[in-house]
């Protein structure tokens, strides 16, 4: 599959790489697994030599042995004797960089926590002593969000404040998903929605579906739900490392959110325990969920809902995790029947999310959100304000256009438009047919 999008990220990497002619530059690259970090880091944004280290779960001495082979091949540095500590290897590279500029990518950097956590202090010491005289673009890439955040954003950690640039790699935008579908002669409004839900804009999933020629719901579900599919263990493989021994509680919370139990009170009523701390960590430490307050709610408002940020994870918890017993029984056809039966109900809220993403891409609106009053009264799917042109867009979104009613929408919007008396009010009724 060709390389899509990422123009802004490549421009930043190119800028950082050019600055290494003055002194060494550090970039951190964060993003969930399979989002495309490694592919991005290996793109040709530099004319100089590039060295790539992957931190696998090995003994430090074995990693050094592997990296020495890379160094000899890529940089032709003569290395005599054995090096068994990464500290010594990194010191050698920083010294070499004083006369030989190059780019060093260290992938899954957070894994050093398990191998030898003192490496971070060693890197900090060597970096601080040599960066002004050396000419290296050092890229630290990592996919365990909580650990990367701790390494670089915790004031008590040695590498705090050392990075010059930060990229938090996000899923592909809707415009890119459209481009991919059109490149594969597979674009339609429905295929865009289904592709949006089942890939979430994640590069690896898109690459696999493109390889299989699967761009519609039926084909994609066939690839997801089958023996030996990597998708079946995806949520578990991705999150157990993040959550540690309490993963069971976190998985239960995420399963409830995926099954439309989106309020804290609803979650606690099912689990019969206080989940405030878990929800806080899921949002702020792990970046798995986000809290959503009603449009224009006060910052201290306790009226809020939660949603899983990653579309595929939401699908995984709604269907794969929930019906794990069917997978263990190898009853894949039955699970496909359930997904097919419930998919439209599940996908309704993602159509709303898709339209919100399209509005964001317009770069026109100063605030976009959803609106509801206490006890979920007067729910409005989308409210978007353009303060520059003094316009407010109020939209209802349904898969079935027959269920849309402007008179009902106007009635639900009475309270909110009072706050925008001098604004032009634009009402929209959007269905799948309105995706272009």
Type and span of the H or E element at 151: helix 145-153
For residue 140, give both structure tokens.
Answer: 């630290």
What is the per-residue pLDDT for 299? 78
Instruction: Return mean pLDDT, the chain.
Output: 94
Question: Is the backbone of residue 6 left (phi > 0), alpha (psi -120 to 50) or beta?
Answer: left
Region 256-274: mean pLDDT is 95
State CA 337 to chain mean position distance.
29
Please, which pLDDT band fits residue 97 given cuts at 50, 70 and 90? very high
What is the per-residue pLDDT for 136? 97
Residue 82 backbone phi and psi in degrees, to 5: -105, 145
| CB contact at 8 A, 315 and 327 | no
Type and span of the H or E element at 278: helix 276-280
For residue 285, give both structure tokens.
Answer: 């430490």
| CB contact at 8 A, 383 and 369 | yes
pLDDT over 90 at 374, yes or no = no
Output the CA angle 169-126-112, nearest 5 degrees: 50
What is the per-residue pLDDT for 129? 97
Region 156-175: mean pLDDT is 96
List, in sequence order, every residue forming a beta bridge with 369; answer none if it has no partner: 383
- CATH class held by domain 367-434: alpha beta
CATH dotted code for 232-329: 1.10.10
CATH dotted code for 7-168: 3.40.50.300
For residue 198, give both structure tokens.
Answer: 């089942």
- Beta carbons within 10 angstroms of residue 125's beta carbon: 14
| CB contact at 8 A, 193 and 350 | yes
Q: What is the pLDDT of residues 176-223, one digit of tens each?
A: 999 999 999 999 999 999 999 999 999 999 999 999 999 999 999 999
Instruction: Give the start-to-end residue ranges of the domains of the chain.
Output: 7-168, 232-329, 367-434
Q: What is the pTM of this model?
A: 0.90
- Beta carbons within 10 angstroms of residue 283's beta carbon: 15
Kindly give, in sequence order, each residue whose CB lies less than 8 Å from that of residue 390, ignoring residues fewer than 6 positions away. 422, 423, 424
């Amino acid at each position: 599959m060709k390389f899509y999008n990422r123009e802004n990220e490549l421009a930043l990497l190119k800028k950082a790489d050019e600055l290494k002619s003055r002194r060494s530059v550090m970039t951190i690259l964060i993003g969930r697994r399979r989002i495309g970090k490694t592919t991005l880091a290996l793109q040709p944004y530099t004319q100089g030599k590039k060295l790539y280290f992957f931190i696998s779960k090995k003994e430090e001495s074995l990693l050094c042995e592997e990296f020495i082979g890379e160094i000899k091949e890529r940089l032709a540095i003569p290395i005599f004797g054995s090096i068994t500590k990464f500290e010594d290897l990194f010191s050698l590279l920083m010294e070499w960089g004083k006369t030989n500029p190059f780019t060093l990518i260290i992938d899954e950097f957070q894994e050093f926590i398990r191998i030898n956590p003192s490496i971070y202090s060693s890197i900090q010491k060597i970096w601080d002593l040599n960066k002004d005289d050396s000419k290296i673009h050092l890229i630290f890439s990592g996919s365990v969000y909580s650990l990367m955040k701790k390494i670089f954003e915790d004031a008590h950690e040695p590498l705090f404040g050392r990075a010059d640039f930060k990229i938090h790699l996000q899923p592909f935008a809707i415009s890119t998903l459209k481009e991919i579908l059109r490149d594969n002669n597979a674009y339609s409004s429905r295929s865009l929605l289904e592709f949006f839900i089942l890939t979430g804009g994640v590069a690896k999933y898109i690459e696999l579906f493109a390889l299989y020629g699967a761009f519609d719901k039926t084909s994609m579900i066939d690839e997801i739900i089958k023996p030996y599919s990597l998708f079946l263990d995806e949520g578990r493989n991705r999150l157990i490392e993040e959550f540690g021994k309490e993963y069971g509680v976190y998985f239960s919370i995420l399963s409830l959110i995926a099954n439309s139990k989106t309020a804290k009170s609803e979650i606690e009523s099912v689990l019969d325990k206080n989940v405030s701390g878990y929800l806080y960590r899921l949002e702020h430490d792990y970046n798995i969920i986000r809290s959503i307050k009603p449009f224009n709610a006060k910052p201290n408002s306790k009226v809020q809902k939660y949603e899983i940020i990653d579309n595929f994870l939401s699908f995984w918890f709604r269907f794969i995790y929930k019906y794990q017993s069917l997978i263990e029984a190898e009853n894949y056809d039955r699970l496909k029947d359930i997904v097919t039966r419930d998919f439209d109900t599940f996908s309704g809220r993602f159509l709303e999310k898709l339209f919100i993403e399209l509005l964001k891409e317009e770069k026109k609106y100063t605030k976009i959100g959803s609106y509801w009053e206490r006890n979920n009264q007067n729910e409005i799917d989308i409210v978007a304000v353009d303060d520059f042109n003094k316009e407010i867009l109020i939209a209802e979104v349904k898969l079935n256009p027959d269920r849309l009613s402007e008179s009902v929408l106007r009635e639900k919007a009475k309270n909110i438009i009072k706050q925008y008396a001098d604004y032009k009010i634009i009402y929209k009724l959007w269905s799948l047919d309105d995706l272009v």
